[in-house]
Chains A and B, each alone.
Chain A
Amino acid sequence: MGAYVVRRLFFSVFVLWGAVTIIFVVLRLVPGDPAYIMLGPDADQAQVDALRAQLGLDHSLAQQYVTYLTNVVHLDFGQSFRLSTDSMTLVMQRVPATIQLASTALLLSLLIGLPLGVIAALKANTWLDRTISVFSLLGQSTPSFWLGIVMILVFARNLQVLPSSGSGSWAHLVLPTVTLALPFLAILVRLTRSGLLEVVHEGYVQTARAKGLAEGGVILVHALRNALIPIVTVVGLQFGALLGGTVIVETVFAWPGVGRLLIDSISRRDYGVVQAAILLVATIFVLINLLVDLLYGFLDPRVRLAGDR
Chain B
Amino acid sequence: MTSTELDLTTTTPLATPVTARKSRAGTARIRFGLIVIAVYVVAAAIGPWLIDFDSVATRTADRLKPPGSRLSDGSLAIFGTDQVGQDLLAQMLQGARISIAVGLATLLLAGTIGVTVGIAAGYFGGWLDGVLMRLADIQLAFPSILLAIFIAALLGPSVVNVVIVLAVSNWVTFARVARGQALATRRREFVDASRTLGAGTWRLIRRCVLPASVAPVLVVATVEIGHVILAEASLSFLGLGTPASTPSWGVTIANGRNYLADAWWISTVPGIALAFLVISLGVLGDALRDRYDPRLRSL
Contact = CB atoms under 8 A, between A and B. Distances in A.
Contact present between A and B (CB < 8 A): yes
Nearest to A30: B154
How big is the A interface, by class?
35 or more
A15 B141 contact: yes
Interface in B254-299: 254, 256-257, 260-261, 264, 267-268, 270-271, 274-275, 278-279, 282-283, 297-298
Interface residues of B, number: 47
Contacts of B141: 15, 18-19, 240, 282, 285-286, 289
B244 interface: no
Interface of A: 11, 14-15, 18-19, 22-23, 26-27, 30, 37, 137-138, 140-147, 149-150, 152-153, 157, 194, 230, 234, 237, 240-241, 243-245, 247-248, 251-252, 262-263, 266-267, 271, 274, 278, 281-282, 285-286, 289
Contacts of A14: 134, 138
Contact of B233 (A143, A153, A244, A281): A143
> Which 3 pairs of residues, A with B, have the shortest CB-CB distance?
A244-B145, A18-B138, A146-B271
Interface of B: 134-135, 137-147, 149-151, 153-155, 226, 230, 233-234, 237-240, 250, 253-254, 256-257, 260-261, 264, 267-268, 270-271, 274-275, 278-279, 282-283, 297-298
A267 B151 contact: no
A281 B143 CA distance: 9
B296 to A, nearest CB: 13
Contact of A26 (B143, B151, B234): B151
A22 B268 contact: no
B240 to A, nearest CB: 7
A244 B138 contact: no
A27 to B, nearest CB: 7
A260 to B, nearest CB: 11
Overall SS of chain B's interface: helix
Contact of B238 (A230, A247, A271, A278): A247
Contacts of A285: 141-143
A137 B257 CA distance: 25
B30 to A, nearest CB: 15
Contacts of B150: 23, 26, 274, 278
5 contacts: A137-B282, A141-B282, A146-B274, A281-B146, A282-B143
Contacts of A140: 282
> In the complex, which of the residues A143, A149, A153, A243 has the most CB atoms of chain B within 10 Å of its own CB atom?
A143
Contacts of A19: 138, 141-142
Nearest to B155: A30
Nearest to A144: B234
A240 B153 CA distance: 19
Contacts of A147: 271
Given A18-B138, A282-B143, A285-B142, A143 B154 contact: no
Contact of A266 (B137, B240, B270, B279): B240
B233 A234 contact: no
A201 B253 CA distance: 46
A143 B146 contact: no
A241 B141 CA distance: 11
B282 A194 contact: no
Nearest to A289: B141
A25 to B, nearest CB: 11
